[in-house]
Copies of this chain bind each other. A is one copy, B any other.
């Protein structure tokens, strides 16, 4: 099983995903002298509770339960920080957020979004990105950011429908 396809196998031990994401976040923030505060860490943990993206407003109840303010700015601030650190990505086509499995280097994700189970996998898609760069260059266009979101059916859900 490749790293990338793990999320499409619902039998995987997901607590590994969570713990790895959190410990990586802690060490990255430390190295960058950024503060992974309680709110920020909680939001990151909540987002990593599954491989399904969560909307900002879905996070608010859990913040309230944990005793924090649960007005929208609170969660958007945390999300802004996490995005800036590359710890989460925003999925524009879903208005939702997903944890980034490789936050070491800043990058734009390339996502496979299952319309059956809503699982999202981030591809390591150099080939696609290079292709985009090449097309853009032909037009004299200087790429700054790429939004690449592919919707369809993951292997599991495709088989179920068949």
Contacts and interface: CB of A to CB of B under 8 A. Distances in A.
Interface of A: 4-5, 8, 92-93, 110, 112, 114-115, 121, 123, 125, 127-128, 131-132, 134-136, 139-155, 158
A144 B153 contact: yes
Nearest to A140: B155
B112 A149 contact: no
A150 B136 contact: yes
A33 B4 CA distance: 45
Given A136-B150, A141-B155, A145-B152, 15 more contacts: A4-B139, A5-B139, A114-B141, A121-B139, A123-B139, A125-B135, A131-B131, A132-B150, A140-B154, A140-B158, A143-B150, A143-B152, A146-B148, A146-B151, A147-B147
Contacts of A152: 136, 141-145
A146 B111 CA distance: 10
Given A115-B144, A140-B154, A149 B92 contact: yes
28 contacts: A5-B139, A92-B92, A93-B147, A112-B136, A112-B139, A114-B141, A121-B141, A123-B135, A125-B135, A128-B128, A128-B131, A128-B132, A128-B135, A132-B150, A136-B150, A140-B158, A141-B152, A141-B153, A141-B155, A141-B158, A142-B153, A144-B152, A144-B153, A145-B151, A146-B149, A146-B150, A147-B147, A147-B151
Nearest to A159: B140
Contacts of A141: 8, 112, 114, 121, 150, 152-155, 158
